[in-house]
Chains A and B, each alone.
Chain A
């Protein structure tokens, strides 16, 4: 079975702290995504990566950065957490070529971050 594993299901951090959210997939997928999900707003794309060391901004990249040093791992970094970053963070991966999204999506279980 394809597996997308997110490092933490629940985190509580303080304003100004640096936060790392890690995501690992085991299907050799090219594409990896970080979304946040908020009530009434649905899924919003933060960053996308279609290859190692490649990244593209999504709809709401402000306050976030990402790292993809290995194909299977995609990390989301909040350099200085703020209360408005309290949310559910979802990682996903899919097969794709040349920056396209041609494959079925596989999601992790999500990381619920609370920033106090």
Chain B
């Protein structure tokens, strides 16, 4: 069993839909990261969070430390949101991040 699991692996939705991507982990962490990678592009950090909720524009990330679970939400999705979304965790007292496999999101116009 992977220490960081994302679901779904692939997601196709229509423009305007509300999107949820989930990340579950099994280790103690100091922080959880959500990152985005467009096709052929570099990786961009979206959020780093250790508790509660953060919001940037149409993106919202939440984390429940007790349940070891985080969600990334996209409101009013747009084709430019099409990308791979990656969850990664920073384990306690360890520099090595543990990476999820990524969720490939396609938003159709």
Interface string of B32-69 (1 = CB under 8 A from A): 01010000011111001000000000000000000000
Considering the complex, which residues of chain B in the window 1-48 have a beta carbon less than 8 Å from any beta carbon of chain A?
Answer: 30-31, 33, 35, 41-45, 48
CB-CB < 8 A to B93: which residues of A? 100
Q: Are B45 and A101 in contact (CB under 8 A)?
A: no
Q: Does A45 contact B (CB under 8 A)?
A: yes
Interface size of B as a range: 20 to 34
Label chain B's interface by main secondary structure.
strand
Q: Are A45 and B96 in contact (CB under 8 A)?
A: yes
Interface size of A as a range: 20 to 34
A29 nearest CB across to chain B (Å): 12
Label chain A's interface by main secondary structure.
loop
CB-CB < 8 A to A50: which residues of B? 95
- Cα–Cα, bound, A78→B35 (Å): 28
- Cα–Cα, bound, A102→B93 (Å): 9
A47 nearest CB across to chain B (Å): 11
Q: Are A58 and B96 in contact (CB under 8 A)?
A: yes
Residues of A near any B CB (own CB < 8 A): 31, 42-43, 45, 48, 50, 56, 58, 90, 92, 96, 99-110
Q: Are B101 and A42 in contact (CB under 8 A)?
A: yes
Given A42-B102, A90-B42, A107-B43, A101-B48 contact (CB < 8 Å): no
